Amino acid sequence: MRKHLFFTFLGVILLGTSLKSQTSYTIYDEIVFYDGYAGTVDEPVPSGVTRINNATYTTKLSNTLVQNLSAGALTMDVKIGALCDNYDRLGHIYLAFVPKGATTYTQSEVDRIEIARIITPFMNKNINPTEVPYHFTLDNVSEIFNDTSLLSQFDIWVELEVFGVPYAAQTQVAGCSGRIDVFKGTLIFNVDEGTETYTHSNFILPLSVRKDLNNYNATDVPGETTRIINFTLDAPIENAVLYLITSNHGANAGGEEYERRRHYLYLDDELVYEYIPGGKSCEPWRQFNTQGNGIYGATVKTTRQWLDFNNWCPGDVIPNREVNLGNLAAGNHTIKLDVPDAVFVNGEGYFPISMYIQNRKSGQVFCLDPTNLVITEQVGDTVSFDWTENGDATEWEIMYGRRFAYNQEIIMDDLDGETGFEITDLTNQWYYEVYVRSVCDENFTSNWVGPVATNRILSTTENNLSALSVYPNPTKDFVNIDSKSPIKNVVVFNQEGKKIIESKSSKIDLKKYPTGIYVVAVTLENGKTVTNKIVKQ
């Protein structure tokens, strides 16, 4: 029977031991992984290491090592080396909380948390580089290692898992015929100068460990892509953070691996976070993808080409998202993750979900994605748009190009310190797509957000963006449209871009719709299309 991990502790925890230099501790050193589908091999393993199966190793951290790892800011470096698997595969790093003194354990009978996830590149062991590095900031894990009450009941074991399959490499990679060794892995913890000091006790609650989600055989709502997790708190928790790792898989035609879906996270039926995986170019990881059977191809792709389909980059980390839940009251709570647009063509694909709650921050530095990107006005060959900045950025980059022509893109800087931008001199009769990202520092940006699509560009000699007004704005019920030209058609879109109203009237009723941002697109008899952003209160 699993001994459920659920801790709140009294007292003051002081972190921040001053260290003169970084100290590194190697947990695994080029340990070899084997065919994940084959029977478990009996090859020797290093002292203190247990092979759970061909894809997974575990080792118990000594009391001294745990104490050392709690002494300051914690980072982790992982290296995956190429052997005889030349495809992109999932890798995971877990902590297992095993009853004190046990010499072995069954994964399903103890509490575990996933602290990191990676994607291996398409690697050929005969072509350099033959290994790929990954780096993680884990100050919150240092707090776990510093939790004396937890450590009085549990030993901490570290699991490294990389699932590989050698069958393609056996015929495609020289020297791999008949071999079943797929990857080798190294894991190192680094301790540096002290981190944040806390005056309240540590709390950690595992919720889900790599539990698959889809809409056909792994869901909590039949026919929908929904995961629901109920939990109970015996006491209130301040400054709770949900750590969430998800990745989309399904490489069949039209599979979820190639479709970027919006994910919605709810706490007690209230939307607290939403995201779309991906949002960046994979070109920085091209160097590690040395096998020609991958998604990279022979030529460099534009950023828009990557954004059109890619949820993650082979050779990159999968984000460990930190969702601030605030202060949680004692009692029953529910977390729901919903991906309503997921399809899973032919009943294939899955989203492995890991999450846990802790009242500590990881120390990761985030450049937050902007949200609410909308076109606010479109007249002639000019388009204006705006967005919400969620961090402290005062500079942004704008990327746009002709719709469906993903090999074309233009990137412009917005340096005026205020959100909002205007693009002019667009090509007549074309449709465009627009993206934005925040620039938090030199070489430090958010993901790209978008696209939002323009209507067809209709050039006109009257390029007056004030020729039409929509009011009141904000509104609680009706909006009026005042135009010098006759109105041909009015379409209203919600924040997700879904058309909710189509009318020929100059008065639009929004009473029955929820509060939020809406876009009103007005097409005039003279061919102009003018778009305005409206706030419904």
Structure confidence by residue, pLDDT tens digits, 445-455: 999 999 999 99
Coil vs helix vs strand at 107: helix
Is 247 within a domain? yes
- Regarding whether 488 and 423 lie in a shared domain, the answer is no
Is 194 within a domain? yes
Q: What is the CATH number of the domain that holds 474?
A: 2.60.40.1930
Q: β-strands 49-53, 56-60: how paired? A: antiparallel
Burial degree of 234 (CB within 10 A; 0-12, 13-18, 19+): exposed
Domains of the chain: total: 4
Cβ atoms within 10 Å of 315's Cβ, excluding its own: 26
- Regarding whether 321 and 260 lie in a shared domain, the answer is yes
Domain housing 243: 203-364
- Regarding whether 385 and 277 lie in a shared domain, the answer is no
Coil vs helix vs strand at 258: helix
SS3 percent helix, strand, coil of the chain, rounded to 5, is 10, 45, 45
Q: How far is CA 510 from CA 43, 387, 473, in A?
A: 68, 22, 12
Predicted local confidence at residue 21, as pLDDT: 80
Whole-number Å distance between alpha carbons of 191 and 139: 10
Predicted local confidence at residue 11, as pLDDT: 30
HEC profile of 449-483? EEEEECCCCCCCCCCCCCCEEEECCCECCEEEEEE
Instruction: Look at residues 304, 333, 364 and tell me which one is the last residue of a structural domain.
Output: 364
Predicted local confidence at residue 54, as pLDDT: 98
Predicted local confidence at residue 460, as pLDDT: 56
Amino acid at 488: K
What length is written for the chain? Answer: 537
- Regarding whether 193 and 96 lie in a shared domain, the answer is yes
Is 8 within a domain? no
Instruction: Look at residues 423, 453, 483 and tell me which one is the last residue of a structural domain.
Output: 453
Is 458 within a domain? no
Question: For the whole model, what pTM was predicted?
Answer: 0.85
Whole-number Å distance between alpha carbons of 272 and 129: 41
Is 229 within a domain? yes
Amino acid at 159: E
Instruction: Look at residues 185, 200, 215 and tell me which one is the last residue of a structural domain.
Output: 200
Residues of the chain with pLDDT under 50: 1-4, 7-19, 461-466
Predicted local confidence at residue 536, as pLDDT: 87
| Helices (runs of H) and strands (runs of E) counted in the chain | 5, 34
Cβ atoms within 10 Å of 242's Cβ, excluding its own: 20
Which residue(s) pair with 107 in the sheet? none
Is 6 within a domain? no
Predicted local confidence at residue 467, as pLDDT: 61
- Regarding whether 141 and 72 lie in a shared domain, the answer is yes
Coil vs helix vs strand at 216: coil
